[in-house]
Amino acid sequence: MAKFIFVTGGVSSSLGKGIISASLGKLLKSQGFRVTIQKFDPYINVDPGTLNPYEHGECYVTDDGAETDLDLGHYERFLDITTSRDNNVTAGSIYQTVINKERRGDYLGKTVQVIPHITDEIQRRTYQLAEKGYDIVITEIGGTVGDIESLPFLEAVRQMRMKLGRENCLVIHLTLIVYISAARELKTKPTQHSVKELLQAGIQPDLLVCRTEHPLTEEVRDKLALFCNVERSSVIEAIDVDTIYDVPLHMLKEGLNREVIRKMQLSPPLQEPDLDSWRAFLQKLKNPKHHVRIGLVGKYVELRDAYKSILESFTHAGAQLETQILVDLIHSEELEGLKEEELAQKLGALHGILVAPGFGSRGIEGKIRAVHYARTHNIPFMGICLGMQCAVIEFARNVIGLKDAHSTEIDPLAEHKVIDLMEEQKRITHLGGTMRLGAYECALTPNTRAYEAYSKPLIRERHRHRYEFNNRYRDQFEAHGMRITGINPPTQLVEIIEIPGHPWFVGVQFHPEFTSRAETAHPLFCAFVKAALQHKEQTHPAKA
């Protein structure tokens, strides 16, 4: 029987519940427990697939093709686990299930209500995940206590605790300890209030994790324990750290896992936390021997969360190669109006250019211009999803000479739709049904950049797109020097393109950023960064 840990947030949003949950999961997993992490999102959207990245940042895609909250990315990157659609539960999906049941008549004429029908469905989702064979299911509850929309989720937790007992159903409250700089004092009152708010929902938290800019003094810890009714040893400090990857070690030092194991009476931990490879990763991350500058061209660059997984993938690859990667976030729309010299100023000093995924036409010509610059100036280039499609369009226009080449998504009237919907997709009218989502196999051609990076003939990578390379143009592309180096075997869809004469020019239809892990950087990102290092060495050789 699994045990359950719920992580709530108080005082303010953005305290890092996802990172705390992932760090606790990491510690418990490293002690031999089978752990997974789930996220409750109290919004009414059924999934974040339809959300603009400006709302909640990137949409993370799981192996089984669920469009999920970006926190699932943290869980996978920290714990090196694979999550699934069961790991993300939104209020929208809960209501949808309940309403569908009601329409089918499953409730036999009963009045359908938040309690018990919505709260039952929330619990059912949690048990359903636990049944996959976990010792511990950690659930992060999105939002902040006191929000109206998170109430049904808290109520579900209250009911579970009643049924299972607190030792089987723990609540950790992540809160902010406010620092008043004029008085140079840490203040606990907002935390006391947020705990009161939880109590109002019938939940006494078992542990407090206290986000703070300054170390908690003994008095502050005493006060928190007394006023919030938690054991003194269960007041855990979460001080600001240099990188999110420091948090597991800090939680270990503060004894978060120890307290959890004690309170839940978890049968003897199989081992002390084994964090050797984590420490090795951090050691390399913090002591780079080289550095490169990479431009990330996208249209959501004001919001780093929109490219979360890509930025984290660079962190992992950078650590593996002991290289600090300075990522310049470049607005694709801005590139559109630049004169040639201005463009050269913006892109010329970069050691690598990555054109990001995306949807819609805003900034697309800027992305195509960035591809053109990388291709014609021999700067290592990586295109992801829309970025790969831009590389195909650029090549079609400027190398093959198909002047009006475009993607059907952007210009449905273009004569040369080099990126297009597949015939079978055209018959589907429901927009959600036409996306290629989740992991698909890709066979790699030997003696290519892709094969060199992965060192194996068959890979699996995650997808999230609607449009594809149009195979009717394949011969023309190959005749002009673009190589198709990865294919999905059953459908023959193009997954990877390369330009052989270029130092490193690779476009992938899939999203490698979703499978990069802290301790195992993604081979394609590593290969790209290596190429960037080489480019740097050639253009600005280090002085002897």
- Active site (catalytic) residues: 385, 511, 513
Residue 244 binds to ligand GLN (criterion: CB under 6 A): no
| The binder of ligand GLN chosen from 120, 359, 372, 483 (CB under 6 A) | 359
Nearest approach in angstroms of CB 80 to ligand GLN is 24
Please, which residue, 119 or 389, has the CB nearer to ligand GLN? 389
Quote the CA–CA distance of 520 and 111 in Å, as a whole number. 51
DSSP summary character for residue 396: I
The DSSP secondary structure of 398-434, one letter per residue, reads III--TT-EETTT-TT-S-EEEE--HHHHT--SGGGG
DSSP summary character for residue 471: G
Cβ partners under 8 Å of residue 341, min gap 6? none
Site for ligand GLN in 379-418 (CB under 6 A): 385-386, 409
Token couple for 268: 């003897």
Which part of the chain contacts ligand GLN (CB under 6 A), choosing from 175-183, 329-337, 459-467, 524-532?
A: 459-467
C-alpha count within 13 angstroms, C-beta hemisphere, residue 43: 14
DSSP summary character for residue 117: I
Binding mask 147-176 for ligand GLN (x = CB under 6 A): ------------------------------
Residue 358 binds to ligand GLN (criterion: CB under 6 A): yes
Nearest approach in angstroms of CB 464 to ligand GLN is 5
| The binder of ligand GLN chosen from 373, 395, 467, 473 (CB under 6 A) | 467
Please, which residue, 236 or 306, has the CB nearer to ligand GLN? 306
Please, which residue, 467 or 525, has the CB nearer to ligand GLN? 467
Residue 466 binds to ligand GLN (criterion: CB under 6 A): yes
Q: What is the distance, to the nearest Å, from the Cα of residue 220 to the centroid of all Cα atoms in its chain?
A: 35
Which part of the chain contacts ligand GLN (CB under 6 A), choosing from 105-113, 263-271, 304-312, 353-361?
A: 353-361
Cβ neighbours around 241 below 10 Å, total = 13
Nearest approach in angstroms of CB 447 to ligand GLN is 28
Token couple for 30: 């490293």
Token couple for 222: 């005493």
Residue count at the site for ligand GLN (CB under 6 A)? 10
Nearest approach in angstroms of CB 14 to ligand GLN is 25
Nearest approach in angstroms of CB 541 to ligand GLN is 36
The SS3 assignment for 217 reads: coil
Q: Angle at CA 520, nearest 5°, toward 518 and 523?
A: 120
CA distances from 215 to 14, 194, 218 (A): 19, 21, 10
Residue 362 binds to ligand GLN (criterion: CB under 6 A): no
Residues that bind ligand GLN (CB under 6 A): 357-359, 385-386, 409, 464-467
